[in-house]
Amino acid sequence: MLDRDQLETFATVAETQNFERAACLLNITRGAVSQRIRALEESLASVLLVREKPIAPTPAGEILLRHVQALRMLEGAALQALMPTGKPHAPVPIAIAVNADSLATWFPQVLRALLLQRRVALEVVTDDQDHTSVRLSRGEVVGCISTDAKAAAGFLAEGLGAMEYRCYATPAFAREFFADGFTVPAVLAAPAVLFNRKDSLHDEFLQRRFGFSIDRYAKHYLPSPLALLEGIGMGVGYGLVPSQQARPLVDDQRLVELAPDEPMNVDLYWHHWEIEPPLSSEITQLVVSEARQQLMPSASAVASALCTA
Cα–Cα dist 301/203, whole Å: 25
Q: Contact at 8 Å (CB) between 291 and 170?
A: no
The model's pTM:
0.79
**Which residues are paired to 265 by β-bridges?**
164
Quick: pLDDT tens for 42-83.
Answer: 999 989 999 888 888 898 888 888 888 888 888 877 777 776
Domain positions in the chain: 163-265
Return the pLDDT at 301.
Answer: 56
Q: Contact at 8 Å (CB) between 69 and 93?
A: no
Return the pLDDT at 261.
Answer: 93
Return the pLDDT at 82.
Answer: 73
Four-way CATH pick for 163-265: 3.40.190.10, 3.40.50.11540, 3.30.420.40, 3.40.50.2300: 3.40.190.10
Q: What is the DSSP letter of 238?
A: B
Return the pLDDT at 300.
Answer: 63
Q: Are strands 264-273 and 155-169 parallel, antiparallel or unpaired?
A: antiparallel
Return the pLDDT at 305.
Answer: 46
Return the pLDDT at 87.
Answer: 61
Q: Are strands 155-169 and 143-146 parallel, antiparallel or unpaired?
A: unpaired
Q: Which residues of the chain have pLDDT under 70?
A: 83-89, 129-131, 299-309
Closest CA to 280 of 130, 112, 141, 138: 141
Q: Contact at 8 Å (CB) between 55 and 18?
A: yes
